[in-house]
Amino acid sequence: MECNLKLQGEDWMKKQILIATGLAVLSTSAFASKARLEALGQNDDRGSFYVEDARNVFRNAAKVNTHKNYITTEWGTASNTTDDSTTAPHAEGGFFREMGSFNYGVYMGSQIDSQNSSRTAYQAHDNALDLFFGGDMGVQWGARVHYANGNTENAGTFKKEHSNFGLGLGMMMGDIEGYANIILSDESKGGAAAADKFEANGLNLGASYNLNGTKIFVDYDTDGYDDTVSGAKTEQTYTAITVGVGRIHEVSSTARLNMDVKFVSEKDETKTTTTTETKETTLPLTLGFEADATSWLTLRGSVSQNVIINNREVKTTTTNKNTKANTTNVSAGATLNFGKLKVDGSIGTTSHARNAAAQSENGTLALDNVLTRVGVTYWF
């Protein structure tokens, strides 16, 4: 009997390992979209600190070794006059493939840190190209190169031009991950006048450690620009420091919960003839879920809110302090599974008016317009 119990115990352990392995494969290779990350309450541009998604290659380039052999498209407008957002998504997409012991990727249209909403009088950051390359030599490593270039020169007017060059580096070794994303050069020449100039900068550094399934992470992010118009300069700088923990709890083989809490310290400073400084200190809590409703449908959602710490301070010639209002946010989304083809989208963001310029969250489940911010991925 003792022997039978031992064998049953070993069988049970084997089943648990197989389930865990299956879930790991599912969570690391099945999804790749901004809509999914938004629905789970995560960052949609650089990816999540702890939820596995192919978007994470923009945070840590070494993830190119984890997420490979797929082509993905994010549906949206080709306009570059505003930055990509939930309500006004931009078109982008790419291809990732393994090549022997290496992995590579080509991605077009990413507008992370593009600053286009601030450089409206200049040649926009447009037609961007990201190239990824990585491998595993005991330590998984990856690199990303970002390039964008454009110009406008009409007869009888001065030339407007823009160029951008950025670099992303990442590594993963066991439970430790680290990354750096740097804008090496970002310059637009020619605005309202030929001598006007816009120069942007950016630096993103971070590391994480997986402690028994709980991801502990720290992230430093800063960006800004100098905008010189008719000899007068405007300087803008944004800095954010994030320290947090996140965990995914496997409820069953078809359902997962994601939970995270972060301490976030932000500072936004604008200098012209006067200085405006905004500081925010918050503690956002996010609770999310993802469940396979059927073999062809995955549903997900989340709720997030600043808890306990929720402070905002604006300083100009005077100082005003308040708590941030309306921080509760609910998001939802779905994936339609057609074998290796995945169609992701957001739910509940359809405007009451179907001809609205932008989508909005208003608690509507519109059966004639179920999914917005659509992303389509094919895995091979």
Alpha-carbon gap, residue 33 to 334, rounded angstroms: 11
Token code pair at residue 126: 């447009």
Q: What is the mean pLDDT of the chain?
A: 89
Alpha-carbon gap, residue 91 to 288, rounded angstroms: 27
Find residue 313's DSSP bridge partners. Answer: 279, 321
Say if residue 10's pLDDT is above 70: no
- pLDDT confidence tier of residue 1, bands split at 50, 70 and 90: very low
| Nearest partner of 68 among 105, 110, 23, judged by Cα | 105
Say if residue 48's pLDDT is above 80: yes
Say if residue 9's pLDDT is above 80: no
Residue 343 CB: number of other CB atoms within 10 A?
17
Q: Could you report the per-residue pLDDT of 70-123, keeping only the tens digit for each? A: 999 999 888 777 777 777 788 999 999 999 999 999 999 998 888 888 888 899
The share of the chain scoring above pLDDT 70, in percent, equals 89
- pLDDT confidence tier of residue 323, bands split at 50, 70 and 90: very high
The one-letter code for the residue type at 339 is G
Say if residue 37's pLDDT is above 50: yes
Top mean-pLDDT range of 5-9, 211-215, 350-354: 211-215
For position 304, what pLDDT does the model report?
98
For position 356, what pLDDT does the model report?
63
The one-letter code for the residue type at 80 is N
Question: What DSSP letter does each residue of 302-353 carry, written as one string?
Answer: EEEEEEEEEEEEEESSSEEEEEPS---EEEEEEEEEETTEEEEEEES---SS
The span from the first CA to the last CA of the chain, in angstroms, equals 47
Say if residue 30's pLDDT is above 80: no
In this structure, are residues 61 and 167 in contact, taking their beta carbons and an 8 Å threshold? no
- pLDDT confidence tier of residue 358, bands split at 50, 70 and 90: low
For position 276, what pLDDT does the model report?
95
Burial of 161 (0-12, 13-18, 19+ CB in 10 A): middle
In this structure, are residues 348 and 363 in contact, taking their beta carbons and an 8 Å threshold? yes
- pLDDT confidence tier of residue 31, bands split at 50, 70 and 90: confident
For position 216, what pLDDT does the model report?
99
Average pLDDT over residues 9-35: 52
Task: List phi, psi (to 5°) of 5.
Answer: -60, -40
Q: Could you report the per-residue pLDDT of 183-235, keeping only the tens digit for each? A: 999 999 999 999 999 999 999 999 999 999 999 999 999 999 999 999 899 99
Q: Could you report the per-residue pLDDT of 233-262, keeping only the tens digit for each? A: 999 999 999 999 999 999 999 999 999 999
For position 355, what pLDDT does the model report?
61
Alpha-carbon gap, residue 158 to 122, rounded angstroms: 12
Q: Which residue has the higher pLDDT, 154 or 281?
A: 281
Say if residue 5's pLDDT is above 60: no
Task: List phi, psi (to 5°) of 86.
Answer: -60, -40
**What are the strands, taking DSSP E only, across the chain?**
70-74, 92-99, 102-108, 129-136, 140-152, 160-173, 176-189, 197-211, 214-229, 232-252, 255-271, 275-294, 297-315, 319-323, 329-338, 341-347, 372-379
Question: What pTM does this model have?
Answer: 0.87
For position 329, what pLDDT does the model report?
95
Say if residue 19's pLDDT is above 80: no
- pLDDT confidence tier of residue 352, bands split at 50, 70 and 90: low
Say if residue 55's pLDDT is above 50: yes
